[in-house]
Structure formats: structure tokens, C-alpha cells
Copies of this chain bind each other. A is one copy, B any other.
Amino acid sequence: MPSSTNGNTPSLEYIFHPRSIAIVGISADLPKLWIKRLYLESLITNKYPGQIYLVNPKGGEMDGLPIYRSVKDIPGPVDHVVISVPAVHTPKIMEDCRDIGVKVAHVFSSGYAETGEPDRIELQNRLVAVARQGNMRIIGPNCLGLFYPRGRIGLSPDLCMEPGSIGFLCQSGGNVTFMARHAVSRGLRFSKIVSYGNACDIDECDLLDYFASDPETKVIAAYIEGAHDGPRLLKMLKSAAAAKPVVVFKGGFSPDGLRAAASHTGSLAGADTVWDGLLKQVGAMRVYSIEEMVDMLVALLRVKPFKGLNVCAIGHGGGASVMATDELSRTGFRLTPIPEGIRDGLKEFVDLANSMLRNPIDLGTGFVPDAMEIVMKMGSRPPAEYLHEIAVSGGMPRAKRLNALLKQWPRLDLVVYHHGFDISPVPLERARAAGGPGSIVLAAYACELPRAVVLHSTGDNRSFEASIDVRQFAADLGLPLFLSMRGAAVALRKLADYSMAYPERLAGLAASSADVQPSDQG
């Protein structure tokens, strides 16, 4: 397929730089209002610098923009179209697009090969045939299309437009917004996202190839339901995984899931063992849910590389410490006993009663003086803001002492800090959460060893609400924030394995990543 390839520019680069975008099928009617909110509002709100054109056979105007009756009526060049009309009407629109030289057609509509109906498969084939008559590429059908924050191309009004370094190709539309929201809530940001649905033209191979050489992308994440060209997929996965870390969530990995994937995006999903072998062969990391994918990306982008499995768990709560140990231990980490000298140092501020000074370390009331000082001095200021001020101005005394002690621990590879908002006997109010849990995050920030923070708060609405500021604070600081010890343990163990197998692929990743704040480079 011809494209604007030249020299080192990835061949699909041009699809992210349209001079104009036309939205075909826009309407103020209720079911269609969705399209307006997803595409038109995202472009306007985010100040997309190119031309925006609206198209609907009924004409009229919307938000001060004229609605053209056909793409052929548009007065300027059209690089990109979003097509949201019933499937049966798309071939005609595609012909019009071909005729006016559209470069990329993103077919939002569904009702094609994924239905399994012969006439619908034929309809999808016709789209491809029309596109090939011109130099047009197709994204989709049955997908959400492009998200490119640097180019001010939004998708859904609530997605964060700060650019980052994760390139995400995703065969499901729902998983684009789920993944983007969840990753952003953990402090991560995206270079580009492409939701590519049925993959009738641009497919996972094209996108892996693109992201492999995209300088804005440091890590590739992929939700893939199926592929139709095994040997090409192997080739593209291999070169992508050699270039940068690749994390793959294969949707439809179970026997019935294979069938479901076919029904969702018309994919030939392929036996799970084949996928597993493929991913292992090329050295891509495999995950089994969106949560696991975000955990893995947090680990890759925010945890300093480490190679051993000696971990220390530090947090609040006896049961929580036992459970943390189980989760870390079952993935193969070792919680080696705390050296006697360090134990003695901890006794300076941790009372033996209501604590555990072995490994895990339950700090008990050890941080209480710091926590009380934070809450007192904070007054009515926003907790995340006040905590940030403490963090950048040197931290709290007990956290610093803890760090000094941990540095003396021979062969300690990783420290995992944790706090469970669910376990407080007296429930924490949101403002007071800056105290105890805030102290844990400040201790993680002060820590010079590779470290992670787990803030657990999904027990009930009140715990979740109480944890909002401290979670935000941890994510904004650039700390690797996890929401469950199980999730942390699984991702951290995969990171350790990856780091041992492919140290060169991680080299410079944390140091160069736009996802980590400069203050976090240790």
C-alpha cells in the first residue's frame, strides 16, 4: 500500500497528522449525540489545529459549523474521515472519499464481518476494494479510531490529553477508554492509541511495525483478539519486541473466548498455545486483563530495574503484612529476615507492641508522630498539594531514617510499601488520610532502592473516597502505584524476569521516559 514513507519516518506516520478531519453521520439526534461528544467535542475542546468538517445528508449546522450534505461538498482537502453511518451506506461514502482523495477512513460503524453474516462480510470486503482504488487506508470498521494527544486529536471528552510514551494498539473500543482511564489514574500517559476493530486494512502488524520505530513511543501495549497472517505477525512482533518492551493482552484466550473474539471483531483468534509460544519466542510480556496490563506498564515505566528477588514489605497492619507476604512470596519473591542492626535501628521509632519487625515490617504506630504533624500543619490546604510540598522539601524525619536504614541492608533488591485504607479500625476521613497513608507514600519517595507503592482502597465507597488524594499524590510524584498487592506482585515478578532476560531493552527506559517526573530519577 503506498504511503508517505521516506527515510526513517515510519510508514504510517501520516495518519496521525491530518490537515483536516470530516465527521460523516454527525447528528443532534439522541442516539447519534454520542458521535458528536466523542469526536466533534474532543476536537474542539482540545483545540485540534486542522479543519473540522461535518457531513450529514440532511445538512444544517452544529456548534457554528456548517453540515455538508456530502463529503464531496467540502470546500478544502480532506485527509481523515470518521464514518458513522449504518453499515449499508458506507460503500457509497467510501466511494465519495476515494474520489476526493481522502487518505484515511476511520469506519466507526459496526455490522460487518464480525456479525458472521455472509452479506455483512461482503460489505466489509467492498470497503477494502474501494479504498484500494485510491490511496486510502481504513481504520476499522467497528472501532473508535485515533487518539493522538500531541496532535490534539482526542477521543471521548474525558481522556487525558497530556502526551506520554505508551503506544497502544487495541482491537476493542471499550478497552481503549477503560485502559486509558485506568492508566491515567495511575499516572501513565500515552503517545498514541489506535483502536482498529475488525482490521480490514490497517491491522495489528502495521501498528506494531509503526510503534516499533515511532520515536514518541517507548513502550508498546497491545490488546489483540486475532490475526490473519501468522508469519507476518511473528515478524512484526519480533522486531517490535527487539526495539522496545511489548506488553500483549490476547483477548479470546480461552476455548470459548476464541469464538467470542470471532463474533466481536471477526477475528481468527488462533489457538492459545500458539499465541503463548509466539509471545515467549519474541520476548513480549503477556498479561490477562486490562488491570494486569496497566500494572505491567506501571512496573516497566516507574520501577527502577532490579535483578534479584529479595524484597522487603513495609506497611501498616498485621494481617495486611501477612497477606502482602503471601502475595509476594507466591510469585517467587523472597522476604529475607531483616538484619539485626537494621532491626535495632527501627526500634528507635517503632514500638515492638502492635508492630512486626521481621520482614514484612508492620510499622504499627511508628509513623504516627509524622502523620500527626502532617495533619496538623496541613490545616485546610489540599492534601495532595501539601504532601507534594513536603516531598520536594526533604520529606519527613522517620521516613528518612527508614531509608537510611534500608540502604544498609545487603542484597535487598526491592522495597514494597503498602497501606490499606480498608483496614483502619476507625475509618479514615479524606483529609486525615494525608497522615498515615501519606507518610507511607513519602517513605516510598524517600527510598533510594527500587520500590513500589500499593494503596488498597476498594473495600467500600468510603475507603475509596478517603484514598483519592493520596493515590493522586503518589501517581503525580512519579511513583509506581499499584492498587492491590496481588497486582503489584505479578507485575513486579514479570519485570524481574524481563530485566534478567532482556536487560538491554530496559536500559534507559526509566531515565528517558516522559511518564516519570525528573524528580523521580533517583
Are the C-beta atoms of B322 and A264 separated by less than 8 Å? Answer: yes
Are the C-beta atoms of B460 and A182 separated by less than 8 Å? Answer: yes
> Which among A168-176, A390-398, A404-412 touches the partner chain?
A168-176
Is A239 at the interface (CB under 8 A from chain B)? no
Are the C-beta atoms of B115 and A352 separated by less than 8 Å? Answer: yes
Are the C-beta atoms of A358 and B458 separated by less than 8 Å? Answer: no
What separation, in Å, do the CA atoms of A446 and B124 have in the docked complex? 38
Specify which chain B residues have a CB less than 8 angstroms from the CB of A334 in the assembled complex. Answer: 256
Say yes or no: A34-B422 contact (C-beta < 8 A), given A182-B460, A289-B323, A319-B174.
no
Specify which chain B residues have a CB less than 8 angstroms from the CB of A155 in the assembled complex. Answer: 425
Are the C-beta atoms of A425 and B254 separated by less than 8 Å? Answer: no
Q: Which 10 A-B pairs have the closest CB atoms?
A: A172-B319, A111-B353, A254-B329, A174-B423, A257-B326, A264-B318, A185-B460, A260-B325, A178-B422, A174-B317
Is A110 at the interface (CB under 8 A from chain B)? yes
In the assembled complex, the CB of A358 is this many whole angstroms from the nearest CB of chain B, namely: 4
Is A354 at the interface (CB under 8 A from chain B)? yes
In the assembled complex, the CB of A185 is this many whole angstroms from the nearest CB of chain B, namely: 4
> Which among A202-210, A228-236, A461-469 touches the partner chain?
A461-469
> Which among A6-14, A21-29, A360-368, A381-389 touches the partner chain?
A360-368
Ordered by A's residue number, 18 sampled pairs between the chains whose C-beta atoms are within 8 Å are A31-B365, A38-B426, A109-B353, A115-B353, A142-B318, A155-B425, A156-B427, A171-B319, A172-B318, A174-B318, A181-B460, A181-B462, A185-B461, A256-B329, A259-B325, A260-B326, A263-B358, A264-B318
Are the C-beta atoms of B330 and A254 separated by less than 8 Å? Answer: yes
Are the C-beta atoms of B322 and A362 separated by less than 8 Å? Answer: no
Are the C-beta atoms of A326 and B251 separated by less than 8 Å? Answer: yes
Is A261 at the interface (CB under 8 A from chain B)? yes
In the assembled complex, the CB of A56 is this many whole angstroms from the nearest CB of chain B, namely: 18
Q: Mark A350-383, 1 if CB is under 8 A from B, else 0.
A: 0111101011101001001000100000000000
Specify which chain B residues have a CB less than 8 angstroms from the CB of A156 in the assembled complex. Answer: 425-427
Are the C-beta atoms of B458 and A468 separated by less than 8 Å? Answer: no
Are the C-beta atoms of B322 and A225 separated by less than 8 Å? Answer: yes
Q: Mark A158-192, 1 if CB is under 8 A from B, else 0.
A: 10000000000001111111100110110000000
Is A328 at the interface (CB under 8 A from chain B)? yes
What separation, in Å, do the CA atoms of A265 and B358 have in the docked complex? 13
Are the C-beta atoms of B422 and A264 separated by less than 8 Å? Answer: no
Is A101 at the interface (CB under 8 A from chain B)? no
What separation, in Å, do the CA atoms of A368 and B29 have in the docked complex? 14
Which B residue's beta carbon lies closest to that of A144? B425
Are the C-beta atoms of A110 and B353 separated by less than 8 Å? Answer: yes
Are the C-beta atoms of A325 and B254 separated by less than 8 Å? Answer: yes
In A69-116, the 8 Å CB interface with B consists of 86-87, 109-111, 114-116
Is A117 at the interface (CB under 8 A from chain B)? yes
Specify which chain B residues have a CB less than 8 angstroms from the CB of A274 in the assembled complex. Answer: none
Specify which chain B residues have a CB less than 8 angstroms from the CB of A328 in the assembled complex. Answer: 254, 256
Say yes or no: A177-B422 contact (C-beta < 8 A), given A329-B255, A459-B182.
yes
What separation, in Å, do the CA atoms of A422 and B184 have in the docked complex? 12
Are the C-beta atoms of A322 and B115 separated by less than 8 Å? Answer: no
Which B residue's beta carbon lies closest to that of A323? B251
Selected contact of A260 from candidates B115, B360, B368, B464, CB within 8 Å: B360
Which B residue's beta carbon lies closest to that of A329? B254
Specify which chain B residues have a CB less than 8 angstroms from the CB of A117 in the assembled complex. Answer: 352
Selected contact of A464 from candidates B174, B223, B365, B464, CB within 8 Å: B464
